[in-house]
Amino acid sequence: MKILIFAGSTRRDSYNRKLAHAAAGIARELGATPTVLELSDYDIPLYNADLEAEGTPADVIRFKQQLHAHPAWLICTPEYNGSYPALLKNALDWASSPVKADPQWSDGVLPFRGKVVGMASASPGSMGGLRAQSHLAPLLLNLECWVAPRSHAVSLASEAFDAAGNLQRLQNRQGMQALVEQILWAAGRLA
């Protein structure tokens, strides 16, 4: 089973990027084939309908292709002011925007429809980013994703990872493993 894992952050020392890489290791241990996508590898401008009218940027199409190619996803979202970051919203807005001149991508929901998506977050606070997840879930449901009922939030993230980027606390390793297992199980049933 292929699983796409990405963080809604491009910050070099992002806790959520560390969480995405830790989740990829867990997915590998479970026999899955993870792809860790880095949003910084894509030149996705701020969404603007006038810019879109000039033509959908090539990196947006590349991003759509990656989303579409994976039946299972795990999104690791930071929490900014109680919600998910603009970077993540912007990438998803572009990915859901129809490309009128392209027969495949004229359906804006195509990259999302039927994907099993799990949510995780890591935050320095005690709630671990749960509020960001609660805002992200309705967006994913609106895009016709199957949102995994299980999620995981890593609180006190500044103390959660060792020098190699591994999760130090047993409850976080177990929580992330249970989440990845559920995503893969559900994606296998829906495929």
pLDDT band at 101 (very low <50, low <70, confident <90, very high): confident
When pLDDT is averaged across residues 143-165 and rounded to a whole number, the result is 97
pLDDT band at 191, cuts 50/70/90?
A: confident
CATH class of 2-190: alpha beta
CA-based radius of gyration for the chain: 16
What pLDDT is stored for residue 85 in this prediction? 97
The mean predicted confidence, pLDDT, of the chain is 97
User: Could you tell me the pLDDT band of residue 159, with boundaries at 50, 70 and 90?
Assistant: very high
**Percentage of the chain modeled with pLDDT above 70:** 100
Quick one: pLDDT band at residue 170, thresholds 50, 70, 90?
very high
pTM of full prediction above 0.85: yes
**Could you give the percent of the chain with pLDDT greater than 90?**
98
Give me the residue spans of the domains in the chain: 2-190
Query: Average pLDDT in the 135-149 region?
Result: 98
pLDDT for 32 equals: 98
